[in-house]
Amino acid sequence: MSVLDDLISKGLIEAVETDHAVSGQWLQDARRHLEAAKAIAELDPSGAYVLAYDAARKSVAAALLKTGHRVKSRPGAHQALAQYAKSLSEPTDRSPGSTGYAATETDPSTAP
């Protein structure tokens, strides 16, 4: 069972219609958060960390929405998103000739 399937079965992620406009907006928000985090990093490291965390969270949520899923708003939502994000970079196939990494379900050519 994939991490995504596991999170769905636990009721933490649900299927929804893909929404490229919303996912694109979340990616723009994430970029702005990163720019702001860089700008304030020396002045307010804690604030920069919060902005960087939100940028990562919104980026993963955008990728998930492009696959037709979203994290349900409930306790454990941030952890579910973190588990999904981690699964995107975990080795899945160690056979010769394999890249060894999970392919995302999002086609990069469709990114806004």
> pLDDT tens-digit profile of 55-74?
999 999 999 999 999 999 99
- Coil, helix or strand at residue 71: strand
pLDDT at position 95 over 80: no
Structure confidence at residue 91 as a pLDDT band (50, 70, 90): confident
Which two tokens mark 94? 């160690």
73: closest CA among 83, 61, 56?
Answer: 61
Output DSSP code: residue 100. Answer: -
Confidence at residue 45, expressed as pLDDT on a 0 to 100 scale: 97
pLDDT value, residue 102: 47
| Model confidence pLDDT, tens digit, residues 14-32 | 999 999 999 999 999 999 9
Query: Residue 48: in which H helix or E strand, if any?
Result: helix 45-66
Residue 13: φ, ψ to 5°: -125, 145
Output the pLDDT for position 93: 54
